[in-house]
Amino acid sequence: MSQAQFEELLHQMLSEDNKVRKRAEHQFATSIRTQRPQILQALLSFARQHKDSSLRSACIVIFQNRLREGGKFLFAELPKQVQDSFKAELLNGVEQETNSGIALLFENVICDVAHHFYTENTGTWDEILPFVMKLLASQNSQHRSSGYRLLAELSVHMLKVFTPENFNGVMDLLQRGLQDKSDAKVRVHALLCVVNFTIVFQDQVYRQQLRRLVPLMLETIIAALNSGTDQATSDAVKILKLFIELAETDPGFFKLSINDVANAMLKLATEKTLDNSIRQLSMEFLVSLSLCKASLMRSVPEFSQRYVNACLEMLTDLDTDSLEEWNQKGRVVGDDDTDIEIHNHAIAIEDLDRITQALGGDNIVPHLFNYVPALLENREHWQARYAGVMALQSVMNERSIIFLSPALDKLLGLVLPSLEDSHPRVRFAALVAIQTMSGIFKPRLQRHYHQTIIPALIKNLGDLANQRVVAECCIAVIDYCEEVEQVTLEFYLQPLVEALLKLIQTPSRHVQSSAVTALASICGAAGAAFDQFYSSVTPIVMQIIRDATDPSVRMFRCKAIECIAIIFVSVSKQLIGKDVAPLMDIIIPLQGMEMQDDDPTREFVVQALARISHALGKDFTPYLQHVMPNVLKTAHHNPPTERPSTDMDEEDLLEAGYSQVFGEDNLFVNTALLQDKYSACSMLFCYAAELESGFFPYVEQSSKILVPLLEYQHHDGVVLSAYSALPRFLNCVQKYQQETNNNVNVNELFWYMFPAVLKAIDAQKEQHELAASALVCVHESLAVMGPNTLNDSQVKVVLEMLVTLIMEVTKVRKSQVEAVNADGEMEESVYVHDEIAKTLSAVLHEVGEVFGVIVREHPNQFYANFQHIQKLVFDLLHSDHPLDRQVAVCLFDDLVENTKEKTHSFVNDFIPVLLRDCDGDVPTLRQACVYGLGVCAAFGPKDLDEKIPEIVGKLTALIGKQGSRDGLNCYPTENAIAAFGKILKHRYHVIQSSFPQMVEAYVNWLPCEEDKIEARVAHDMLLEFLSNSPGVVFGENLKNVPKLLQVFGRVMDTELINPTAKNQIIQLLVKMQAEMPGNVMQQAFASLPPENQTKLQRGVTTPTASPSK
């Protein structure tokens, strides 16, 4: 092919005519297969010499692309003489090219070839580093820019080239580049070089020198952005992304210049003339640094305040859509395909949440409380009011709950008025806030504020002109009402159901789907109170299921299937009989149908069948023959796995519906089939749990499928389902044996499963979530099996396993403590630390549960082995870490409660720790300690009497402490109340003189509402005190009667009392009505909330006074 012909071919390859271009590309591909060196040489010659710059650019790009074929790099396979020629031409291309754009393309090829040589060891390029140094020494600014860019790209290969001995020379080069005033590109590429070197050269010998360049780095970013060019913005984006990577890997790098760094980034974030990507990345850098090094950012003067201000500015930067356009969009940015821009306000919402997670609510929320009221009072600009509400919503998370809980009234005073704002988007923001608050402040928000919130939600459900408001309101209804107690929800059911049924008839599919979901949630919360609506709601939902068969509305149909299943679970069983068969006729065939990978129908059907099995109980058993074959087949099937190949690379596998197996670099598994396997395993657990003896025919086959899956590698959910199901299988066999009197050997099943569980724990001890679930399986299985399932040696094996896990947790925690940053300070990555702490805490909690079940069910075997773990227990008891002490205290609590006098010899070793830690900072440890004080009062030795006054003082202080009922504090507080009651009951002889005052305090601390187990204990003791000492409990002049009625009204018809307690309360109320002055009971009753009046009215005759409304 002549030079002219080749040039014509190149022009045809660049043609806009598809036919011409494809024909030329085919001819080129054919030629290069047989004449690769010659074609590549021709491309390089044209790139170096042709007059047409666009053709030269195209030639160098084609040259680079043709160095690879089928994933294989071909440069190294060229003859050495050709390689050397190409190398020289590439270097000359950079040095002699005057067009900076084309020079950049030559640099790309050089980096590509050099990377391959360095990483694959397929050749050398000794000339490249001297060439780079030559460029850096040139008087030509384009040469220096190219030199720094090449050095930045090749930095990853320079670890063996630059040593501590010669690194000063590198520092001089880098500093000179950052101070180069002749060309902004030189400074930018020098900055890229510094950041890359910092990421690559991780040893502190290097980084201590590199961090001195931070001020110059900041100057370079600012100077680049001041130029205002698109290239400057592009370069700044690249630099900021590298800064973020550096903040995440070595946040201490910025310590020496942190004030300058924070000020510069805040200035960029608040400069509205800059591109949004720059502002957003500046905020991202600061929040990343805060998450990884919170103490460093707290040291910056006024950082929290300024960051909050920057977020509030960005929150007001909303789109200019009309209400009609806004209503047509999805719920959040990105829901619809056209809305791909990441808006500033969406970033600000996320950043406020993350900065609160990083620095804590006490550093962020006060600033919001200062700024937000003015925003909410801005009647001119709805954007300000929107920003105020969304800012408050953004900081409601687990890191701020302790700070926000005492200020809940203030918070609601800011948010609730916005539910009635004149602008729909402000109301939308308020509904989002209600959703968040419903989870963060449950159940307090539902118990004490429903009279304001639910009517406001019902009103917003009627805003048919704004479908996004209505759809968001449906979500708020779901989140809020799922924690509202049934008796309270009854007051609002009629208007809620009517509003939602009306929405189901609207033309908006989004609104319809949201309304169906909300209806399901309301039904689930209302329970049997929904019976009155069953006949009107069910036909509508069933009709949706029958009619919505088009693929475009499959999610709507799925939501309807979910809704009807929840209705079946919630209402009285006798109502659903006639509707079960028609529904099953529709959904059972769906589970075996071929579906697209993204079709959610099968998953919703699986969930629906689980709920229906719960609703029907053993009446679901006849349907098992229809559903179990597919479930067993799917649970047993192993989804196919693939490794990338020349036929299908990683991208092809991802597009084909495969996902990478965690921990396996080159293994991919079919995602949809893996999810089906997980769902099927979950169903085995569900059916076994719901049907009990009815599931017995499938236990053997199911256990043979799930036991081998305890060590399944491709999906943790499969393993977790297996662990959850195995104790239920044991229960199925036991129930079957009890109900049929058949001699079924449950021990055989147990000993098939149990060794496999212990083996899996040993393999998974470093996978803490799985280990915690395995321990749940152990203690639930042992609880099902009952006393003396294990002998002495088998208990010893279990105890050794627990010791191994405790040591694993200690090792991981120690490694966390020793994990220091490059500057020698402790890592403070909030997310990482919190997640690790949660999983370690879960493991230790379950270790305590296994200890507990062994003590309860195998006390003799435990004591036979106690000597083997006694030292460890006492080491844990005196550990510096609260979680360790918690494990020891929980074990002690179980020992005292279940073996009583056997523990008297070492109670005095534990009491000082219980007294010390019962008012400590860790709620779970406080809970274990006060529970221990209670069981010691009940079952401890006689000489504990002398400690009772001190114990009473500690418990009283804990219960009365400010915030004692907020968040996680409520659990130790309620345990302390129950412990106080045990002292009243079991140590009366010690506190006899102050008994009336202590009883009055006890009554006023009730009810207990969160810890259901201790609540039942505490309320049982109240009834016992009323039976034995009614006059003392009623108080002088019956002053405690209103409080007693309040307690009874709250706990009646709830899980807060034992089943027999309800009749005791009713009998007591009848007696009080008969024997007490009428006005006492009337006034006390009238003071109750309407829902509590209703509960008491159902049990006793209504007092003559009309209840308050």
Instruction: Determine the pLDDT at residue 1105.
Output: 37
DSSP single-letter state for residue 668: E
Provide the 3-class DSSP secondary structure of residue 824. Answer: coil
H/E element, 612: helix 601-616
Distance CA 626, CA 620 (A): 11
- CA distances (Å), 555 to each of 339, 514, 558, 636, 640, in order? 21, 11, 5, 28, 27
Which distant-in-sequence residues (6+ apart) come within 8 Å of 1010 by Cβ? 443, 970, 971, 974
Which distant-in-sequence residues (6+ apart) come within 8 Å of 462 by Cβ? 499, 502
Instruction: Determine the pLDDT at residue 882.
Output: 85
**Tens digit of each residue's pLDDT (9 = 90 or more) over 423-479:** 999 999 999 999 999 999 988 899 899 999 999 999 999 999 999 999 999 999 999
Q: What is the dihedral of CA 711, 713, 714, 717, to 10 degrees?
A: 40
**Tens digit of each residue's pLDDT (9 = 90 or more) over 481-530:** 999 988 889 999 999 999 999 999 898 888 999 999 999 999 999 998 99
| Most confident region among 114-118, 960-964, 977-981 by mean pLDDT | 977-981
Q: Model-level pTM greater than 0.85?
A: no
In total, the chain counts a number of residues equal to: 1109
- CA distances (Å), 545 to each of 268, 516, 530, 542, in order? 53, 12, 20, 5
Can you tell me the mean pLDDT for 676-684?
A: 91
Task: Provide the token pair at 964.
Answer: 């004692």
Assess whether pLDDT exceeds 70 at residue 337: no
* Angle, alpha carbons 72-130-234 (nearest 5°): 65
DSSP single-letter state for residue 1040: T
**Tens digit of each residue's pLDDT (9 = 90 or more) over 361-396:** 889 999 999 999 999 999 999 999 999 999 999 999
Instruction: Determine the pLDDT at residue 831.
Output: 45
Instruction: Determine the pLDDT at residue 902.
Output: 77
Question: Cα 728 from chain centroid?
Answer: 28
Instruction: Determine the pLDDT at residue 901.
Output: 81
Distance CA 1068, CA 731 (A): 38
**How is the chain split among helix, strand and coil, in percent rounded to 5?**
80, 0, 20
Instruction: Determine the pLDDT at residue 852.
Output: 87
**Tens digit of each residue's pLDDT (9 = 90 or more) over 943-975:** 999 999 999 999 999 999 988 888 788 999 999
Rg (CA), the chain: 35
Band the pLDDT of 646: cuts 50, 70, 90: low
Assess whether pLDDT exceeds 80 at residue 862: yes
Amino acid of residue 773: S
**Tens digit of each residue's pLDDT (9 = 90 or more) over 124-162:** 788 999 999 999 999 999 999 999 999 999 888 888 888
